Amino acid sequence: MNNTASNQYKHIHFIDLISTKIKGFESFFHSFLSALYCIFHRPDIVHVHNIGPGIFIPLLKLFRLKVVLTYHSVNYEHEKWGRFARFILKTGERFALGGADAVIFVNKAFFKKTGEKIQEKSMYIPNGVRHSERSEQTNYLKKYDLTSRKYVLAVGRITPEKGFDYLIDAFLSLSDKTYQLVIAGGIDHQTSHSSLMLKKAQEQGVVMTGFVQGEELRQLYSHAKLFVLPSHSEGFPLVLLDAMNYKLDILVSRISATKEMQLPEDAYFQVGNKEDLSQKLHQKLTEPYSSADYDLSEYQWENIAAQTADIYQRLVYNNHLPQ
């Protein structure tokens, strides 16, 4: 983080640690250095996010540090990982869940799958969404010759588990060619999958914006006709919450993370099924545009922060785990 970012929040300090760009090793190396930093500086609580870095929780506990783990997703189910990487992630999961003093699950299904011993020190706390007003600006849309309410939007990193490949196939099978498909997301590392995705998108006229944020992303959400989440696997899809915040009509794959949202039945399609997705796209795009209202009361950051702070306080002052 740079100094500009660190000055945006009171009482929050960002620490820059060196890392590497070696694919498959970057996260492991950075997590190890972060663990060493915590061992030498001894914070009251170390909060570890997800099971990859969780492999170092036993090391943190060896030095009597209190550790909170947030379990975001089952990373080893993602296709991008090889056999050895999946072994490391599964080992990290076992070490993380067993060693952490308290565990936060953002996904109810993941929480319910754990054993009673883990559940005794765990809580379900979902991710949240920050309310954003719809943007009336369209200058970013003009960059790609997009027309308001005449495009379908998908947002996420360009990785196999996001399902963008079969979304493209399903969209291209539609007979109505008046709509465009926009996929907004960056590429962490160039792979054969991402290269094929970019090539297919370029050949078929699919708009690939790359990584986008701020006002530009706000415009994309604000003017879309439909939001689609075709993921094979998700921990908790923040991009879906953003789409709900902008009151978009949505289509999502039927996976555990989206079933928890209790969306209308016509919002779901069978995960990985190009034909089912194509049919649902046709149905949604033939309907006139109307904003949708969703109950987002469970996903307010103020409540989520208060629940997380309560866990911290119990560990620091009472040494009690969540009940």
Is 3-128+300-318's fold the same as 139-296's?
yes
Q: What DSSP state is assigned to residue 317? A: I
How confident is the model at residue 321, as a pLDDT?
58
Domain ranges of the chain: 3-128+300-318, 139-296
Q: How confident is the model at residue 2 (pLDDT cuts 50, 70, 90)?
A: very low
Give the side-chain half-sphere CA count within 13 A for 289: 14
Q: Are 117 and 197 in contact (CB under 8 A)?
A: no
How confident is the model at residue 3, as a pLDDT?
45
**Domain 139-296 grouped into CATH 3.20.20.70:** no
| CATH fourth-level superfamily of 3-128+300-318 | Glycogen Phosphorylase B; (3.40.50.2000)
pLDDT at 234 over 80: yes
Q: Are 82 and 43 in contact (CB under 8 A)?
A: no
pTM: 0.83
pLDDT single digits (tens) 97-128: 889 999 999 988 888 888 888 889 999 999 99
Distance CA 190, CA 118 (A): 37
